[in-house]
Amino acid sequence: MTSLEKAVIARLTIGDNHFEILVDPKAAVDLIDGKEVDILSSLAVDEVFKDARKGERASEEVIQKCFGTTDIAEVAKQIILRGNIQLTTEQRHEMQKRKFNQIVEIIAKNAMDPRTKTPHPRKRIELAMEEAGVHIDPFKPVDQQVKEVIEKIRPILPISMEQVKISVKIPATHIGKAYGIVRNFGTLLKEEWQSDGSWVGIIQIPAGLQAEFYDKINDVTKGNVETKLLS
C-alpha cells in the first residue's frame, strides 16, 4: 500500500454517483500509459469512497451497478482511466518533467535529420520543443504525445521517425562479444558466415540509435569491425 501522504484523489462521476480512491500518482500515470501496475499496492486505502476526505464509502450495491463488479482493483482501474486525478502543482510539474524526458528519449532514439540521415542530439530536440511552445500533458499517453510533439517541432527542426539499415562485418576473433550486441540491438535482416570465420549481417535499428550502436560495436571489437550505412 502507498502512504496517505503520497496519495492523491482520483475521481469519477457516473450519473448521480460519485466515486473516489486514494492512489499513488505515479502508479496512476503509469496505468494511463498502458504499463502493468499493481493497483492494490498503489492504493493508500483498500476502499472506494463517495467522499474520500470525509471517509464516506460507496456502497457495494452502487459500485456493482455502475461498474459491473465490486472488485476493488478493477473499479480503481476504471476510476483512474475514465476519471480525473487531483495533483498538486508540484506533483503536476514532476509528472510533466517525467513525461517530457520520456518523450525526448523516444524521439532521440527513433528520429533523425532526413537531410543528413543522422540523429538529433537530445539538447537540440529539447530546444525545439521549447521554441515550439510544446505543452506536456501529465495524463496523456506518451506515444500519443510523441506524434503531436514531432508535428509541432517539424517546422523548426527537420525530423523524421525512421529505421536505418546497417551492414556489419565482424572478424572471427571478435564474434564472441560482438555478435550478441548486434543481434540484440535491432532487427537482424540478413546474416552470413564467411569461410574465414567472420560474420556479415544487415541490421535494422531506429535512426537515433546509430551513434550508440557504433560506439558499442567499436568498443567490443577495439575498432576492428566494418560498418556501412545502407541507403
Across 5-9, 33-37, 174-178, least confident range: 33-37
Decide if 111 contacts 207 (C-beta within 8 A). Answer: yes
Which H or E run contains 219? helix 210-221
Least confident of 58-62, 142-146, 166-170: 142-146
Q: Is the pLDDT of residue 231 over 70?
A: no
Say if pTM beats, i.e. exceeds, 0.85. no
Averaged pLDDT score across all residues of the chain? 91
Closest CA to 206 of 172, 160, 167: 160
Distance of alpha carbon 99 from alpha carbon 26, whole angstroms: 11
Q: Report the residue count for the chain.
A: 231
Asked if 27 contacts 80 with a C-beta cutoff of 8 angstroms, the reply is: no
pLDDT in the model for residue 15:
94
In this prediction, residue 227 carries a pLDDT of: 95
Beta carbons within 10 angstroms of residue 73's beta carbon: 16
Residue 169 burial (C-beta neighbours within 10 Å; 0-12, 13-18, 19+): middle
222: left (phi over 0), alpha (psi -120 to 50) or beta: left
> What are 36-90's pLDDT values in tens digits?
999 999 999 999 999 999 999 999 999 999 999 999 999 999 999 999 998 888 8
Q: pLDDT class for 111, splitting at 50, 70, 90?
A: confident
> Which value, to the nearest 10 degrees, does the dihedral of the CA atoms of residues 134, 139, 140, 142 take?
80
Write down the pLDDT at residue 33: 80
- According to DSSP H, which parts of 83-171 are helical? 89-110, 122-131, 142-153
Rounded to whole angstroms, the Cα distance separating 34 from 169 reads 39
- Average pLDDT of the residues in 115-144: 91
What's the pLDDT score for residue 88?
82
